[in-house]
Chains A and B, each alone.
Chain A
Amino acid sequence: GAVVSQHPSRVICKSGTSVKIECRSLDFQATTMFWYRQFPKKSLMLMATSNEGSKATYEQGVEKDKFLINHASLTLSTLTVTSAHPEDSSFYICSAARGSGNTIYFGEGSWLTVV
């Protein structure tokens, strides 16, 4: 079964509203989680590294005020897309390292559609 769960799997929101995506490690503690965005037929683009108890580290070009990341516990990281616009529509996927870090698990991903 899945060891990293992502919710919701699909969400549609109106332009201008905010939407939150959750990423949970189900049976292990993850001090670090990663958020990726994937455009159609493209590779995964790292958006930010989520650190438990501290601020996320954003990749260059990613708007930190638009993509809010909170890692409030060792098993939960959230990505909030604020004031969403149609161009934010995409597939978002999270991952977490288990144990020594050799094994990385991915969530099932979330499809966001902004209308």
Chain B
Amino acid sequence: AQTVTQSQPEMSVQEAETVTLSCTYDTSESDYYLFWYKQPPSRQMILVIRQEAYKQQNATENRFSVNFQKAAKSFSLKISDSQLGDAAMYFCAYRSAFRGGNEKLTFGTGTRLTIIP
């Protein structure tokens, strides 16, 4: 079974600074997807960024980028120019690509990010 580990329960960063959230995973599969989700106080799960394992290039979405190290099974999220609206719980998630659209997400335990004004 796959596992996802987020070793930082809480992180804080000064507004406008850069912060990196860590995520490692364990799998024996070669084809899979990795995601970062944001969960603000509203509890709505918001997709921040996703990475296909077969792609070597790191995914980027505006201020959000990942450092995907497949051999090390590491998938960290970098948030640049942090904004107050980035404050939330961040979850790293894994999804097998084996069965196409019918595979579940496996979540890490989350990292609570606080933005200091």
Contacts and interface: CB of A to CB of B under 8 A. Distances in A.
B56 interface: no
B52 A31 contact: no
A78 interface: no
Contacts of B102: 31-32, 49, 51, 97, 101
Nearest to B46: A106
Nearest to B35: A104
Interface string A104-115: 101011000000
A31 B42 CA distance: 27
Contact of B101 (A32, A44, A108): A32
A100 B43 contact: no
Interface string A49-61: 1010000000000
Secondary structure of the A contact surface, majority rule: strand
B44 A43 contact: no
B109 A101 contact: no
A23 B50 CA distance: 24
B61 to A, nearest CB: 13
Contact of B44 (A46, A100, A103, A109): A109
Contacts of B50: 102-103
Contact of A91 (B43, B100, B107): B43
Given A34-B105, A44-B91, A93 B43 contact: yes
Contacts of A44: 45, 91, 105, 107
B103 A101 contact: yes
Given A49-B104, A95-B45, A101-B100, 14 more contacts: A32-B101, A32-B102, A34-B105, A43-B107, A44-B91, A46-B105, A95-B105, A97-B102, A102-B52, A103-B47, A104-B95, A108-B44, A109-B43, A109-B44
